[in-house]
Structure 1
Amino acid sequence: MPPRLRKLIGTVLIIILVLVYALVATTIAAATLGASPWYIHLLYFAVTGLLWILPAMVIIKWMEKPAKVRDE
């Protein structure tokens, strides 16, 4: 796969990941943290705010793989 196409696909995947992750994290917070104190909200959003980086790193590593050299 050409590097430009891989980067395009990876960029779209990261955008989708962030949107879906934010919606899911916020929905879970709204459903479960309603009566919790402020510091629980802070902890939850600090952890979930950083957790999306792990799958994004996998996508970025895939995007940055060198193109295969074809023997001709």
Structure 2
Amino acid sequence: MSNAPVGLSPRLRKFVGTVLMLVLVLVWALGAMALAQGRVTQLPGYLQFVAYVVLGFGWVFPAGLLIRWMLKHDRRQETL
């Protein structure tokens, strides 16, 4: 029996992760633009600032989780 990890190969995981990252950024950008054009403009100034910060940086956490998944089990042993 082999002790090889079961699941996607690192190469395939990085490809799938890259595609998902592009989808995440596109969907987030379009959603953020839709919210910014509609509801955010009706808020007071200080709440607009908070909304724009959340809309601008909100994609970073899901992207970080996706990057962590992409690098999972990709620890190659270094050769001397």
In the superposition, the TM-score normalised over structure 1's length comes to 0.77
* Aligned match for 1:2, one of 4, 9, 22: 9
C-alpha distance in 1, partners of 2:15/2:57? Answer: 24
SS at match of 1:66: coil
Match of 1:14 in 2: 21
**What is the number of equivalent residue pairs in this alignment?**
67
RMSD: 1.6
Question: Once the two structures are aligned, what percentage of the paired residues are identical?
Answer: 42
Superposition deviation, residue 36 in structure 1: 4.2
Structure with greater helix percent:
1
Poorly superposed stretches of 4+, deviation over 3 Å: 35-42
**C-alpha contact 2:28 2:59 (8 A) present in aligned 1:** yes
C-alpha distance in 1, partners of 2:59/2:16? Answer: 18
Structure 1 regions of 5+ residues with no counterpart? Answer: 68-72
Superposition deviation, residue 46 in structure 1: 1.7
In the superposition, the TM-score normalised over structure 2's length comes to 0.71
Q: Greater RCO between the two (CA within 8 Å, min separation 6)? A: 1
Match of 2:55 in 1: 48
Superposition deviation, residue 38 in structure 1: 5.1
